[in-house]
């Protein structure tokens, strides 16, 4: 299964200041579903109101994008700390060409694995 470093932000119930994470996501075989932090996020194929993916369990919308090299992942009018999976900090720092995280902008967390079989059964 393909995995990539991504920026993920909860949009439902928030403007541009929802909870946000940087971590590795895994893609389904079709590439239309992303598994992240115990969730299965399905592509909304451009039909989302604020996000480009939705949570298969509760319908919450998420914005998922590649990590920006200049560190400007949050919307210019957004705010709040970004949770970053401690397992990817070195990869992220290398990508943005920095030596250490700005603790005013980032907080370390442990991203949980996703039970992909559970969501496969829900979908089928």
Q: Which 8-state DSSP code applies to residue 124?
A: -
Q: Which 8-state DSSP code applies to residue 105?
A: T
- When divided into structural domains, the chain yields a total of 1
Residues 55-72 have pLDDT tens digits of 999 999 999 999 999 988
Average pLDDT value for the chain: 90
Nearest CA among 23, 21, 28 for reference residue 2:
28
Strand partners, 50: none
CA distance 95 to 112: 23
Mean pLDDT check: name the lowest of 12-16, 47-51, 89-93.
Answer: 47-51
- Whether 5 and 67 have beta carbons less than 8 Å apart is answered as yes
Q: Which 8-state DSSP code applies to residue 74?
A: S
Average pLDDT over residues 86-107: 95
Query: Residue 107 belongs to what domain range?
Result: 3-123
Nearest CA among 64, 61, 70 for reference residue 5:
64
Cα 83–chain centre separation: 10
Question: Residue 96: pLDDT above 70?
Answer: yes
Predicted pLDDT of residue 114? 92
Nearest CA among 54, 70, 40 for reference residue 12:
54
Strand partners, 109: 85
């Amino acid at each position: 299964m393909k995995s990539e470093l991504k920026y993920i932000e909860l949009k439902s119930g928030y403007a541009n200041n929802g909870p946000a994470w940087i971590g590795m996501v895994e893609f389904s075989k079709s590439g239309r579903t992303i598994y992240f932090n115990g969730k299965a996020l399905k592509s909304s194929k451009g039909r989302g109101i604020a996000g480009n993916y939705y949570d298969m369990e509760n319908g919450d919308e998420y914005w998922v994008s590649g990590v920006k090299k200049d560190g400007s992942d949050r919307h210019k009018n957004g705010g709040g700390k970004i949770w970053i999976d401690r397992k990817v900090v070195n990869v992220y720092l290398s990508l943005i060409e920095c030596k250490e995280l700005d603790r005013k902008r980032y907080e370390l967390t442990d991203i949980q694995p996703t039970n992909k079989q559970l969501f496969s059964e829900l979908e089928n």
